[in-house]
Amino acid sequence: MTKVRNQIEFEVCGNYALFTDPLSKLGGEKLTTQIPSYQALKGIVESIYWKPSITWFIDELRVINPIRMESKGVRPIEMSGGNTLAYYSYLRDVRYQVRAHFEFNENRLDLSADFNEHKHHNIAKRCVIAGGRRDVFLGARECQAYVEPCVFGEGKGFYDEIDEMHFGTMVHGINYPDETGKDMLETRLWQPIMEKGIVEFIRPEECKLVRPLHKMSPKSFILGESMQSVDDLNKEMEGGAI
């Protein structure tokens, strides 16, 4: 993949990770996917550095450690109160290298004064060195992660000599209205392939499997227009749109 001018490279690692497969939530027990989704990695990058004037794009993921899973008995809190017993399957001892770059959010032209590529890129690089501005975790809050700068591709990885690994259909990410300009919340699916330990992510607009979830209006100024009124928001909530 071509290196982008405002790209950042970092390594993220942790003892456990839980990138929940949505299908496993139906029974109340969670099972992790084998690799993190685009959206999970985007959340990690946004924990490192984010401003509403920029949108992060994940370019590549390199899996360093072997993919291993471990089941744990947990006691999640029920909606009705009290606890129940469930088994969650986590990834164990994970380490990834990530490449990402940002682009300015053209749906937030009210923030065009902040469209300064040099400034944001330098702040992002300093935040990587500092380990992130906010807490970083791998899919779930209990899976604490640690971030440090790296040179993407350096060091030995467990899958460096394996030509291809297929992971089937997975969640790519979520289309939020403030990033797409559409009044619709959508989920994206794709079929990732890992080659020599590296997964190259397609851009969100290149995903062909897109499922609309429900109508949602951006909760921010778009193209200089004022936010929807409180009355309109209440009507949407009463109608089940939010």
Give Cα separations from 206 to 34, 172, 202, 213, 241 (angstroms): 22, 11, 6, 18, 27
Tokens 């409180």 label which residue? 230
Confidence at residue 3, expressed as pLDDT on a 0 to 100 scale: 74
Q: Of all residues in the chain, what percent carry a pLDDT higher than 70? A: 89
Residue 221 has pLDDT above 90, yes or no: no
Residues 41-61 as b or e (16 or more Cβ within 10 Å = b): bbbbbbbbbbbebbbbbbbbb
Q: Which CATH number fits domain 8-238: 3.30.420.40, 3.30.70.2660, 3.30.70.100, 3.30.310.80?
A: 3.30.70.2660
- What pLDDT band is residue 45 in, cutting at 50, 70 and 90? very high
Confidence at residue 1, expressed as pLDDT on a 0 to 100 scale: 61
Task: State both tokens at 70.
Answer: 């471990």
Question: pLDDT tens for residues 68-92?
Answer: 999 988 887 777 777 788 889 999 9
Question: In degrees to the nearest 10, what's the CA dihedral of 139, 48, 213, 202?
Answer: -90
Residue 229 has pLDDT above 60, yes or no: no
- Domain ranges for the chain, please list them: 8-238
Q: Of all residues in the chain, what percent carry a pLDDT higher than 90? A: 65
Question: pLDDT tens for residues 49-65?
Answer: 999 999 999 999 999 99
**Strand (E) positions, the chain?**
8-17, 54-63, 69-74, 86-104, 146-149, 165-166, 170-175, 184-190, 193-195, 198-200, 209-215
Phi then psi dihedrals of residue 107, to 5 deg: -85, 0
Output the pTM of the full model.
Answer: 0.84
Mean pLDDT taken over the chain: 87
Confidence at residue 227, expressed as pLDDT on a 0 to 100 scale: 39
Confidence at residue 181, expressed as pLDDT on a 0 to 100 scale: 81
Question: pLDDT tens for residues 149-206?
Answer: 999 999 999 999 999 999 999 999 999 888 888 888 999 999 999 999 999 999 999 9
Q: Which residue has the higher pLDDT, 77 or 102?
A: 102
Sequence-separated (6 or more) residues with CB below 8 Å from residue 125: 8, 149
3-state secondary structure 3-69: CCCCCEEEEEEEEEECCECHHHHHHCCCEECCCCCHHHHHHHHHHHCCCCCEEEEEEEEEECCCCCE
Query: How much is the average pLDDT of 117-131?
Result: 96
Query: How much is the average pLDDT of 204-232?
Result: 67
